[in-house]
């Protein structure tokens, strides 16, 4: 239904121009403000309404008003989009927010361990300081974002800062108030960044911290959260290897950010920021001590290395009690998890989570088997059954769309291949397959575009703008040269109109001296979609008839010739081509194209 909104004007000023996709809470669009100069862009969010019952709408209306006040205040932060307006129209609720010009952090993250650019430690620290600074403000206002992921972090073009967007999933922090919050279905793109407690409606402020830690580890390793291995004994992620370019100190910080048990994580963004500051101080002091003393030497024995470093550099509190994990496994393993491991809710939620991983990786049968293993008396059971049905439907759709995309590619229908691939659901396994099809189709489209542009340029060079326009209109919409094609379409259309007027003028000139055959040839070149085509068509019939008469009566009396010419002159005066020339801003004496 999203495409039905394109072009629609809301509140008499916000015109929908593009759909950004659907989320958990509704549909998101890009719009322009037609009431303001330069028509600035904005983001429109249409909240999902599942019932038209008056009681439901009233309840939703109250919730909407409450949440918009929160969003309005959050927008005071420089790195959070401002709330421009909120309104209700036709029993639909809309938010209008600032449009952030930039790109999603997704484009900066490495694709895998071998392809793409792995981030350095300094880049990770800068990222943490940037995002945690935003979350520190958000949490201080009693709000949890609940959906921090690369897609929701935009690198702003004007200053390079990260901006946190999409507060559609926000929840209030429970400061002792007994609040019952509904459990909403998790978007596929959020999987891996959402911590275990959020699946059972026990979201904490440090649930957002977990997500930030996962993004940082993805940037360091090139592995998405769903690709990371989990220690079966501690239930913690095994992410650090000898190839991961990160210090023990920062590794400890990141590992503590992604603990399975939220009680074992950092409890606030401010706490991590202090740890990062302390890390900087500790490293500065360590470098100073190293210059003053030659006691410390490199050693292949990692445990001896820690012992010697302790002699000259006091270990920060963060590493105290974690060193065993660092030495034994090159990562910080977790403690205090087992009490939660014994909880049926966590165990079954984890089963569904692992089933989702299998589904995303391409093993549908194993995913369904895991989901079906959840007992009927479990609170997670209804969710598991619904998920199984949804997986089966998505898998079937993905298979069909993939086959359509592949067939279109094989048949040379590049645009159709891209369109079919875009309809594939958010399943990593299928998207990795369709990405290859899209890449090949786009390469073919670029080749096709270059060929059509070259032909259009050739025809324009000989003033055949009609054929040039025909070639341009054949360029696929998916091309990267869209702006250039639009520019040339406008340019050639204008030149086509000028050329048409010029041809009509030449026809009049030739007819005036009795050269009807030449006049007819000029008129035959006037394109049908030109502004003077109707006049040219009428004159073509007239001059064709006069040409035949002229040919038939080659020996006509001079007086009759003069009379015919006088009549033509009189008829010509009834049409003033200069008016048409003025419409395209040229003068009658302008050099013809």
Which residues form the catalytic set?
147
Taking the CA of residue 469 as centre, how many other CA atoms within 13 Å lie in the half-sphere pointing to its CB? 17
Given the DSSP bridges, would you call strands 102-104 and 153-156 parallel, antiparallel or unpaired? antiparallel
439, 458, 478, 484, 491 from 487: Cα distances, Å: 26, 17, 16, 5, 6
User: Closest Cα partner for 197 from 86, 379, 349?
Assistant: 349
Sheet of 14-22, strands arranged across: 9-10, 14-22, 26-33, 41-47, 92-98, 83-89
Q: Tell me whether residue 442 is annotated as binding.
A: no
Residues 20 and 3 sit within 8 Å (Cβ to Cβ): no
| Residue that is written with structure tokens 């209030």 in the block | 172
Six token digits for residue 385? 């059954």
Six token digits for residue 345? 């809710």
Residues 169 and 24 sit within 8 Å (Cβ to Cβ): yes
3-state secondary structure of 116: coil
Q: What is the 3-state secondary structure (H, E, C) of 227-278?
A: HCEECCCCCCEECCCCCCCCCHHHHHHHHHHCCCCHHHCCCCHHHHHHHHHH
Residues 196 and 222 sit within 8 Å (Cβ to Cβ): no
Residues 193 and 187 sit within 8 Å (Cβ to Cβ): no
Six token digits for residue 150? 């690369």
Q: At CA 467, angle to CA 465 and CA 471, rounded to 5? A: 110
| Residue that is written with structure tokens 């490293």 in the block | 283
Q: Is the dihedral of CA 465, 470, 471, 477 positive or negative?
A: positive
Alpha helices in 28-164 (DSSP H): 54-74, 121-140
60, 63, 331 from 66: Cα distances, Å: 10, 5, 43
Which run of H or E residues covers position 353? Answer: helix 344-361
Q: What is the C-alpha separation between 495 and 186, in angstroms, rounded?
A: 54
Residue ranges for the known binding site are 45
Detail the residues annotated as belonging to a binding site for ATP: 45
């Amino acid at each position: 239904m999203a495409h039905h909104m394109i072009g629609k004007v809301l509140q008499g000023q916000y015109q929908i121009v593009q759909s950004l996709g659907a989320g958990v809470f509704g549909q998101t669009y890009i719009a322009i403000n037609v009431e303001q100069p330069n028509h600035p862009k904005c983001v429109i969010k249409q909240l999902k309404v599942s019932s038209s019952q008056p009681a439901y709408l009233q309840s939703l209306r109250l919730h909407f008003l409450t949440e918009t006040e929160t969003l309005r205040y959050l927008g005071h932060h420089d790195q959070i989009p401002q709330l421009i307006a909120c309104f209700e129209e036709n029993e639909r609720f809309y938010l209008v927010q600032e449009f952030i010009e930039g790109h999603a952090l997704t484009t900066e993250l490495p694709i895998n361990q071998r392809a793409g650019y792995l981030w350095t430690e300094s880049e990770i620290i800068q990222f943490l300081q940037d995002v945690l600074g935003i979350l520190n403000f958000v949490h201080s206002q009693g709000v949890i974002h609940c959906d921090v992921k690369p897609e929701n972090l935009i690198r702003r073009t004007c200053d390079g800062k990260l901006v946190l967007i999409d507060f559609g999933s926000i929840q209030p922090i429970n400061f002792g108030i007994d609040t019952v919050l509904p459990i909403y279905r998790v978007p596929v793109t959020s999987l891996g960044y959402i911590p275990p407690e959020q699946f059972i409606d026990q979201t904490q402020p440090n649930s957002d911290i977990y997500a930030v830690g996962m993004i940082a580890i993805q940037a360091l390793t090139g592995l998405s959260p769903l690709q990371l291995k989990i220690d079966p004994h501690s239930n913690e992620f095994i992410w650090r290897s000898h190839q991961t370019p990160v210090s023990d100190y920062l590794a400890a910080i990141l590992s503590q950010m992604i603990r399975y048990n939220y009680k074992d994580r950092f409890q606030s963004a401010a706490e991590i920021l202090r740890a990062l500051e302390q890390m900087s101080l500790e490293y500065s002091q360590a470098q100073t001590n190293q210059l003053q003393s030659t006691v410390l030497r490199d050693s292949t024995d990692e445990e001896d290395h820690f012992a010697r470093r302790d002699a000259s550099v006091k270990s920060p509190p963060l590493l105290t009690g974690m060193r065993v994990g660092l030495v034994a496994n090159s990562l910080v393993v977790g403690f205090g998890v087992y009490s939660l491991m014994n909880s049926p809710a966590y165990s079954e939620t984890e089963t569904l989570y692992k089933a989702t991983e299998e589904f995303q990786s391409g093993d549908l049968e194993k995913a369904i088997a895991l989901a079906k293993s959840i007992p009927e008396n479990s609170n997670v059971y209804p969710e598991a059954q619904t998920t199984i049905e949804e997986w089966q439907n998505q898998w079937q759709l993905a298979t069909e769309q993939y086959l359509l995309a592949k067939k279109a590619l094989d048949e040379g229908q590049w645009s159709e291949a891209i369109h079919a691939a875009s309809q594939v659901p958010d399943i990593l396994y299928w998207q990795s397959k369709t990405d290859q099809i899209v890449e090949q189709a786009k390469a073919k489209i670029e080749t096709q575009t270059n060929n059509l542009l070259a032909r259009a340029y050739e025809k324009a060079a000989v003033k055949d703008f009609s054929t040039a326009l025909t070639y341009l209109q054949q360029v696929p919409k998916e091309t990267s040269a869209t702006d250039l094609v639009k520019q040339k379409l406008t340019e050639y259309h204008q030149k086509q109109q000028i050329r048409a007027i010029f041809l009509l003028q030449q026809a009049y000139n030739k007819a005036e001296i009795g050269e009807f055959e030449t006049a007819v040839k000029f008129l035959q070149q006037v394109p049908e979609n030109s502004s003077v085509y109707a006049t040219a068509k009428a004159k073509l019939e007239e001059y064709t008839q006069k040409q035949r008469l002229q040919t038939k009566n080659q020996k006509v009396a001079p007086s009759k010739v003069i009379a015919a010419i006088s009549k033509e002159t009189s008829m010509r005066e009834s049409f003033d081509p200069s008016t048409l020339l003025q419409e395209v801003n040229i003068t009658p004496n302008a050099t013809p194209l």
